[in-house]
Amino acid sequence: MKATIFSPATAQGKAGVAIVRISGPLAVEAMKKMTTVKKIVPRQAVFCSIRTLTGTVIDNGLVLYFPSPNSFTGEDVVEFQIHGGKAIMSSVLNTLSSLENFRPAERGEFTRRAVENSKMDLTAAEGLADLVDAETEQQRKQALRQMNGALAKLYEGWHDCLLKHLAWIEAYIDFPEEEIPESVSQEINQKIFNLSSEITAHLNDGHRGEKLRDGFQIAIIGAPNAGKSSLMNRLAQRDVAIVSSTAGTTRDVIEVRLDINGYPVIVADTAGLRNTNEEIEAEGVRRAKAKASQADLVLWVKDALVNQDVSEIEGIDPQKIISVMNKVDKTLPQKDNNVWISAKTGEGIEVLLAKMADFVENQMSLREEPSLTRLRHRKALEECLQYLHSALEIKEIELTAEDLRMAMRSLGKITGQVQVEELLDVIFKDFCIGK
Ligand SMILES: Nc1nc2c(ncn2[C@@H]2O[C@H](COP(=O)(O)OP(=O)(O)OP(=O)(O)O)[C@@H](O)[C@H]2O)c(=O)[nH]1
Ligand SMILES: [Mg+2]
């Protein structure tokens, strides 16, 4: 028999209420053994006492029952809503542990069972994990959309389109005396070509969905003493980096996470760029350059009182640079390509933030079509595309059919139509306990 699993569904610590979720064939047994409730109406809360197996009352609370298959996991699910206290929780969990065929749930195991019971596909499960992890409004929207099946619909649509054309081809394979008419094979080729273009467009989206999920990377670079760390502290609105008049203060890359108009942003302060023989500082400069080249946006900070050295931005795509002139409190701003600010007084910061927000929004805002959100999906789609390209080459129809089958398999791996055990282990390992 499949084990009945249980876990707190709410975060640890003191709280008004905590929920314990139980899922599996014996869920109702737990309710019968730990409460005086013998019969229960599905999805209706019953107030009762919750007890140990010897009848000692642990707490008073609510019990709820979601019979299979109309539950989150698709199995019988029972929930105890108890008070959120450490002793209460551990006593409930200990009691559940002592029941035969019961065990604590592993990370993501409830969701895994939901996938296995076809309550949701893998992309929806990943959307759910992202929804729990979402820190900003736009991340929440993207995750909710994915959880509600936007990506599944797209990928399953492609899968079904391939299935239809594969069936046509197989019909001709089954009757080898029939030559596949030129018009039919042309139509199939056209459809495969269209599909591969659609997948290519989906892949070439500037990684917007992945950036929204992982955070948009901004690097602050410039000469020593330009005021990079001061700007960082100003943006973060707290004292995260050391500021001093000594040139070469910052060595390590220091990062803070910010929310700009609902978009997640990671800002990195870096070591001042200069030629140096000092070993540690040189390593700092190397890291600063590496950060700048990976970043989605670079804030190039200059000191208005010092001559500029354009070699600082050598090799960085000019499209992703915002030029910032700092220390405007010491001089008069000029009309040029720079955003003039004072990290010290805060002057001009609003303008800079608005410019940053434009950049961020431009590259991450949600589009009508759902965006790719994970490297896992990207890899599978690239694989699918390779098979489609191969299918377009002229060859025996048996081989074309095999290419289409493999292309479908790549799509199936994304949604979980093709279930690979190791894949599930990797995906659900990142989930939280109780999800
Ligand atoms: N007047 C004025 N001084 C500033 C401003 N921003 C920074 N400073 C001063 O400039 C000096 C260097 O500031 P930091 O923020 O440490 O500069 P940095 O670019 O991080 O320097 P390194 O870490 O050494 O590369 C400090 O003395 C700051 O107080 C500004 O807007 N106006
Ligand atoms: Mg610094």
Q: How many residues does the chain have?
A: 435
Task: Output the CA angle 152-388-418, nearest 5 degrees.
Answer: 40
Give all strands of the β-sheet with 297-303 in edge-to-edge order.
254-260, 263-269, 216-222, 297-303, 321-326, 339-340
What is the full per-residue pLDDT of the chain (435 aa) written as tens digits? 899 999 999 999 999 999 999 999 999 999 999 999 988 999 999 999 999 999 999 999 999 999 999 999 999 999 999 999 999 999 999 999 999 999 999 999 999 999 999 999 999 999 999 999 999 999 999 999 999 999 999 999 999 999 999 988 888 888 777 777 778 888 889 999 999 999 999 999 999 999 999 999 999 999 999 999 999 999 999 999 999 999 999 999 999 999 999 999 999 999 999 999 999 999 999 999 999 999 999 999 999 999 989 999 999 999 999 999 999 999 999 999 999 999 999 999 999 999 999 999 999 999 999 999 999 999 999 999 999 999 999 778 889 999 999 999 999 999 998 877 777 888 888 787 778
Q: Which residues of 378-392 are buried (b: 16+ CB within 10 A; e: fewer)?
A: bebbebbbebbebbb
Same domain? 299 vs 358: yes
Best probe residue, ligand 1, of 220, 221, 225, 280 (max atoms within 8 Å of C-beta): 225
The closest ligand to the CA of 230 turns out to be: 1
Same domain? 196 vs 140: yes
Same domain? 189 vs 218: no
Residue-level pLDDT at 38: 85
Residue-level pLDDT at 137: 97
Same domain? 227 vs 271: yes
Contact call for residues 79 and 64 (beta carbons, < 8 A): yes
Q: Strand 263-269 and strand 254-260: pairing?
A: antiparallel
Residue-level pLDDT at 170: 87
Gap from CA of 270 to ligand 2 centroid (Å) = 7
Residue-level pLDDT at 128: 95
Same domain? 259 vs 345: yes
Ligand 1 proximity of 409 Cβ (cutoff 6 Å): no
Same domain? 339 vs 387: no
Place of tokens 């064939």: 25
Ligand 1 proximity of 229 Cβ (cutoff 6 Å): yes
Contact call for residues 234 and 343 (beta carbons, < 8 A): yes
DSSP state of 299: E
Rg (CA), the chain: 29
The answer to whether residue 290 sits within a structural domain is: yes
State the Cα–Cα distance between residues 45 and 409, nearest whole angstrom.
44
The letter for the amino acid at 175 is F
Both tokens assigned to 212: 């929204």
Give the contacts of 335 (CB within 8 A, at least 6 positions apart): none
Neighbour-count burial of 240, counting CB atoms closer than 10 A to its CB (0-12 exposed, 13-18 middle, 19+ buried)? middle
Residues within 5 A (CB) of ion ligand 2: 228-229, 249-250
Same domain? 357 vs 218: yes
Same domain? 190 vs 257: no
Ligand 1 proximity of 354 Cβ (cutoff 6 Å): no
Same domain? 356 vs 226: yes
Q: How crowded is residue 318: how many other Cβ atoms within 10 Å of its Cβ?
A: 8
Q: What is the domain count for the chain?
A: 3
Residue among 121, 117, 138 nearest 73 (CA): 117
Closest ligand 1 atom, residue 226 Cα: 19
The answer to whether residue 434 sits within a structural domain is: no
Residue-level pLDDT at 69: 97
Q: Which residues pair with 102 in a beta bridge?
A: 4
CATH at 297: 3.40.50.300
Query: What ranges make up the beta strands (E) of 43-133?
Result: 46-51, 57-66, 77-84, 102-104
**Which residue has the least CA distance to atom 8 on ligand 1?**
227
State the Cα–Cα distance between residues 234 and 351, nearest whole angstrom.
13
Same domain? 9 vs 58: yes
Q: Which residues pair with 66 in a beta bridge?
A: 77
CATH at 137: 1.20.120.430
Distances from the Cα of 129 to the Cα of 124, 200, 338, 365, angstroms: 9, 26, 41, 20
Contact call for residues 356 and 295 (beta carbons, < 8 A): no
Both tokens assigned to 56: 């000692």
Residue-level pLDDT at 169: 87
State the Cα–Cα distance between residues 294 and 60, nearest whole angstrom.
55
Same domain? 200 vs 232: no
Residue-level pLDDT at 120: 95
**Which residue has the least CA distance to atom 11 on ligand 1?**
245
Give the contacts of 54 (CB within 8 A, at least 6 positions apart): none
Task: Output the CA angle 48-53-58, nearest 5 degrees.
Answer: 45
Ligand 1 proximity of 270 Cβ (cutoff 6 Å): no
Same domain? 167 vs 131: yes
Element (H, E) at 321: strand 321-326
- Structural domain including 261 reads 212-364
Contact call for residues 245 and 171 (beta carbons, < 8 A): no
The answer to whether residue 111 sits within a structural domain is: no
